[in-house]
A = this chain, B = another copy of it.
Amino acid sequence: MIVIDYRDRRPIYEQVVERFQELILKNLLEPDSQLPSVRNLAMDLSINPNTIQRAYSELERQGYIYSVMGKGSFVAENIRLVLNKKEEILNELKQLAKAAEEYGIAKEELINVIMDGVREE
């Protein structure tokens, strides 16, 4: 479910946050379904519970999950999150298009990449 990449320069808790964001946004985790407990996930990943706790706090702050004392942490349902994500992607694209223009890449070339789909990784 969650994989930690120790070659990744970003902190562990951030990787955990990002991974759950992805799972939730793509509906791979249904709303109100329960997340692994702080201690369990920490065991699974062989890391400290505090690190998971930090990731969960962040996810809750961002509205991806909600936590209930004594019960657990659960997936929130929030349509706005998906919309925000889409907007974020389009913004990134805008930045990228700007950079491409500055380096003399034709718009046609960008469109080719998009239309070709993604074959290899």
Contacts and interface: CB of A to CB of B under 8 A. Distances in A.
A115 B93 CA distance: 11
Interface stretch (A51-59, A72-80, A98-106): A98-106
A7 interface: no
A44 interface: no
A85 interface: yes
SS class, residues of chain A in contact with chain B: helix
Interface in A82-106: 82, 85-86, 89-90, 92-94, 96-105
Number of identical protomers: 2
A23 to B, nearest CB: 12
A25 interface: yes
Question: What's the interface size class on A, roughly?
Answer: 20 to 34
Contacts of A96: 89, 92-93, 96
Interface of A: 25-26, 82, 85-86, 89-90, 92-94, 96-105, 107, 109-111, 113-115, 117-118
Give the 7 A-B residue pairs with the shortest CB-CB distance, closest first.
Answer: A98-B118, A97-B114, A93-B113, A110-B114, A89-B100, A107-B114, A94-B113
